Amino acid sequence: MTDGTDSTLEMDSRRSSAWSAIKMDGAAPTATASSALGTSKKMSTISRGKLRRIATQVTRAIRRKRRESLAIRRESRATRVVAAILIAFIICWLPYFCISVYRGICLGLNCQLNTHLHLHLFLVSSWFGYVHSCFNPVIYMCLNKNFRRTLQRLICCCAAT
């Protein structure tokens, strides 16, 4: 800018910063500041070693952030799987426990209980609870890519033999 060499960079007209250019002087880059009158003076010198250390720190910070975001994604996927398993458990076993509590209350208070209806409800709700065990692999297969891939390999191996 002031010396007219190719090593200095033109100041961007949109920026109002005092830093006008960074020019390479031999081994070390030098930062220069420019005033409104166009004079320049040397502000600081940054060594290549310091630049490498800064670049290494920035790279490490980017990698750390990437690992953290991947960990958060894994945790959110695991949370979805656990929530689905818990909801399935509650839906399948809640009727059984409600009927069992109702039966206990009726027997404790000597209330009249329709034995035939209660027996059928008890059997259906018991089997519905047992079926929950069959839902777990389906839920894992739908929500977990690794489980789905392994199950597909297992089925393909069994089908091939």
pLDDT of 18 above 50: no
**Statement to judge: residues 37 and 82 lie in one domain:** no
| Burial zone of 135 (CB within 10 Å; 0-12 exposed, 13-18 middle, 19+ buried) | middle
Q: Is 34 inside any structural domain?
A: yes
Per-residue pLDDT at 41: 52
Domain assignment present for 114:
yes
- Are 81 and 156 contained in the same domain? yes
- The domain in which residue 23 lies consists of 1-46
- Can you tell me the mean pLDDT for 19-48? 52
Q: What is the mean pLDDT of residues 49-73?
A: 87
pLDDT over 80 (residue 134): yes
The number of domains in the chain is: 2
Residue 102 has pLDDT above 80, yes or no: yes
Provide the pLDDT for residue 93.
93
